[in-house]
Amino acid sequence: MADLSTVVNGLKMPNPFVIGSGPPGTNANVIGKAFDEGWGAVICKTVSLEADKVINVQPRYARLRSRESKEIYGWENIELISDRSFETWIEEFKQIKDKYPDRILIASVMEEFRKEAWVEIIERCQDTGVDAFELNFSCPHGLPERKMGSAMGENPEILEEVTGWVHDVAKVPVWAKMTPNVTHIEDPTRAALRAGCEGISAINTIRSVLGVDLETLRPEPSVEGYTTPGGYSCQAVLPIALRMVMEIATVIRDEFPDRTLSGIGGIETGTDAAQFILLGADTVQVCTGVMKMGYRMVQRMCEELDAFMNRHGFNTLADFKGHSLQFFTTHAELVRIQAEAREKKSAAAHKAQADEMIRKDTEWRGDDFVEQSDALARG
């Protein structure tokens, strides 16, 4: 049996599965449930000093389903950060750490662009015994007028300054949670790491409009007939998340090798998690998946990850972390590699490959378009 335990920034976890910040970590009751079911760590729903300014609406979710099976594969939310008072959270942080002293509790925090606010929230939270922080620089909706969330994370200069304030007072590890709603995620990543963050979390949800109800002609989720763009998650975002995790992991590998990465985005199985770890993640976070399947899903994910590791002879997560990064290159290099490979093939093999797949745009045929497309695809 493989060893799923890991130590990340000095934080000892029984497995790499982390409850991502959101409804699954919204109070002490559900956080305790997550620990009881075996999650490696829990990140609470994002807290702020002034929760009275946070007012959620109902409904606040919209879901995209497969046309055939009706399985949910896309999920949009317009949910805000925690609407529970900061004082309540302070008490619950203490209660959780008293009850689960050996489990990892991470406080997700978000504040306005004021140094005194960030210093206060960090100092007061860490006095309760939380094990680490995740700085929410990435919520794609809600409170933009206060320059919070992705409004801050989209600006590397501001992000670096705020992270510096936090680094000056934090006594526990700090992760910065990246927004995907930028052109180059490497830029805010470098800013956070330069300022001293021990780790990066990525990605948060993707700014989206899920769809329009063709009966009412109103976009979803409809709140008294109106809506606002929200954050997209679930299986459908996994390829985008993998790409951005790969880009961040490459930055960490080449420039900040002592830092860590927590991968997020569409993870619902142990094999999903394996892909993120292969691309450089130390841990993986699940939020929407818990909302679909419940806290017990972690047990199945551990079994699936264990099976993957045993199949490949990996004893620890470190044995395969980042293994697949070496196989990324430029398109120009792909052309060169393929040309060399074709030169080495026999004439018969070369002809067989040419018959199977088109190589130039002039070879497409209308009558065989789907079959030609299939031949060029993997999976």
Beta bridge partners of 174: 133
CB 281 within 8 A of CB 262: yes
What are the respective helix, strand and coil percentages of the chain, to the nearest 5? 45, 15, 40
Helix (H, G, I), strand (E, B) or coil at 281: coil
How does DSSP classify residue 3?
B
Cross-sheet strand order for the sheet of 61-65 = 61-65, 72-77, 230-233, 206-208
Q: Which two tokens stand for residue 313?
A: 């002879």
Number of other residues whose CB lies within 10 A of the CB of residue 119: 16
| Rounded (10°) CA dihedral 5, 6, 12, 16 | -80
Number of other residues whose CB lies within 10 A of the CB of residue 339: 9
Q: Which two tokens stand for residue 9?
A: 């920034």
Compute the distance between CA of residue 242 and CA of residue 246 in angstroms, rounded to an integer.
Answer: 6
Identity of the amino acid at 246: M
First to last CA, the chain: 29
CA angle, 130 as apex, 291 and 110 as ends, to 5°? 65
Give catalytic residues, as residue numbers: 139
Compute the distance between CA of residue 280 and CA of residue 379 in angstroms, rounded to an integer.
Answer: 23
Identity of the amino acid at 347: A
